[in-house]
Chain A
Amino acid sequence: GAVVSQHPSWVICKSGTSVKIECRSLDFQATTMFWYRQFPKQSLMLMATSNEGSKATYEQGVEKDKFLINHASLTLSTLTVTSAHPEDSSFYICSAVPRLTSGGVSYNEQFFGPGTRLTVL
């Protein structure tokens, strides 16, 4: 249980185009999902917190107009990289936090997706 998928697993696009990355919790509901960016041989950097039914909360320095996040349902969050440029090339990882049956949120563990490799030419 507690599986998180990401699609696509890798994508190559031309500079100036937009790319959408999906993050799905396959066997649980997640009111909160996190989006991270991982540079080669570096740590994960939190980009934003995605809450179902509300606007995402972005970390300082992350452009919200460039990285559009939509958390349309309890099992799906999307990250759209708009007008992508080569410097946006990176490994993007999402994680999902299970929604408790009582309606609350359990932060005891985040479940991570396998990541999406974005290459912008």
Chain B
Amino acid sequence: GNSVTQMEGPVTLSEEAFLTINCTYTATGYPSLFWYVQYPGEGLQLLLKATKADDKGSNKGFEATYRKETTSFHLEKGSVQVSDSAVYFCALRAAGGTSYGKLTFGQGTILTVHP
């Protein structure tokens, strides 16, 4: 079946540090890939997405590139801010079949950014 594996957290960084959160996946076909962010007390929000190989999703300074050859979708940001503190989820959406439309999530990575 489909699965998503994220690097374990928590991740603690100082403001303006470089961020990488690793995400790898297992899926048949060509899934779409997503990063969601969950701020304290709020629901999940879509951060960025990529729907085909070599696509780069970007938003709010975050980037992730869909790497088919390594089945990865690592999240990066060059300079984090305190306001980026949240839980980050990597997810994939099945390409078709009976699982079409369903999201499979990674376990989430807690990011804490200190001033």
Contact = CB atoms under 8 A, between A and B. Distances in A.
Do the two chains belong together in a single complex? yes
Interface of A: 4, 6, 32, 34, 41-44, 46, 49, 93, 95, 97, 105, 107, 109-110, 112-115
5 contacts: A32-B101, A107-B101, A112-B36, A112-B43, A114-B42
Nearest to B106: A43
Given A43-B106, A43-B107, A107-B101, A113 B43 contact: yes
Decide if the interface of chain B is mainly helix, strand, loop or mixed. strand
Main SS at interface, chain A:
strand
A110 B92 CA distance: 12
Interface residues of B, number: 20
Contacts of A110: 103
B89 A44 contact: yes
Interface of B: 36, 41-46, 49, 89, 93, 100-108, 110
B100 A107 contact: yes
